[in-house]
Amino acid sequence: VWLEPSRFARLEEIENLLASDDQELIGDFSKAHLLPTVEGKDPGLKYISPATLAAVLAGHFSGFIESSIVVDCRYPYEYEGGHVKGAVNLPLQRDVEQFLLEQPVVPLDASKRVIIIFHCEFSVERGPKMCKFLRERDRCCHEYPQLHYPELYVLEGGYREFFFQFPSHCEPRDYRPMEHSAFREELRKFRGQSR
């Protein structure tokens, strides 16, 4: 395939960056990840600790971040039972598409970042899966490697771990597990919708 020289140079630059084994670049390869990462279940995703999320919420990175969106992928009954202050509840793929892709969040200050942090109860399945889904849908909307949201993270340990370490950052200050006996019917309904 013939490419324009400028586009070819950009792709060559990206390939060189990737070949240098620097896997710390954000999704559009324009810069390094801002937040310190920790090891997580999926090596293809970037995980942050509960302490890093608390630091973001407290404004410690506000000089670099214009907007941070915490996406709670748990089911509504879990979210209502306690969630990270300011988090948006997007349990289904269509919710993520509507909220994040129909009218993308664009930084007004080009030097600042928009970061998205996904989580579910333990950040083992629903949160990581939704993070991958957003990246995949975002890639489809652009010419590679451009993205609306190049900087995505998953909260290691999920809401459960965050709540136990930082309950003051949660509202209501509580934790309702997915397997709560009073919400079996809701669980069955949402599991069916998620498939």
Please give the positions annotated as active site. Answer: 120
The DSSP-derived string for 1-60 is ----HHHHHHHHHHHHHHHTT-TTB-TTSSSB-SS--B--S-TTS-EE-HHHHHHHHTTT
User: Can you state the percent helix, strand and coil of the chain, rounding each to 5?
Assistant: 40, 15, 45
Alpha carbons 194 and 11: distance in angstroms, whole number: 36
